[in-house]
Amino acid sequence: MEIFSRIAEHGHEQVVFCHEESCGLRAIIAIHDTTLGPALGGVRMWEYASDEEALLDVLRLARGMTYKASVAGLNLGGGKAVIVGDPKRQKSEALFRAFGRFARRSSARSAVSWTRSAAATLPPRTSARASRTWSGSPPRRST
């Protein structure tokens, strides 16, 4: 698979590959389109058969969020993130904290709702402190 061709195929603006060995984090954040505003989306944790499958899924999901925001009349674009792993065995506070650090770094282009529970992403026994660590908030627009 040609990664850059796949990303450009549907007009994605940015794709971030996230890896932190200490906690087993493997994730991909995709921003599809920010023409109307920051990207809106969520996080999916799934045990993919391959990295290629994870990339194709996050690209498809991010594009779908662009269309959903547009149909809803929102001044937002579309984005999505996937965490590669078995949500029944690999969810941990350390994993979500690491993901939160990556998400925060790419938040200038996105308003991805990291706290939404999409496909098994809500961490077990999330404390208020932990959820603040891995949640993102929309950037403020300048006037």
pLDDT digits (tens, 9 = 90+) for 28-50: 999 999 999 989 999 999 999 99
Structural domain that includes position 89: 3-132
Residue 114: pLDDT over 50 = no
Residue 17: pLDDT over 50 = yes
Residue 43 falls inside a structural domain: yes
> Is 80 noted as a catalytic residue in this protein?
yes
Residue 138 falls inside a structural domain: no
| pTM of the predicted protein model | 0.78
Residues near 21 by beta carbon (within 8 Å), at least 6 away in sequence: none
The three-state secondary structure class of 124 is coil
Residue 16 falls inside a structural domain: yes
Q: Which of 68, 80, 88, 91 is catalytic?
A: 80
- For residue 120, the model assigns a pLDDT of 53
More confident site: 104 or 85: 85
Residue 141 falls inside a structural domain: no
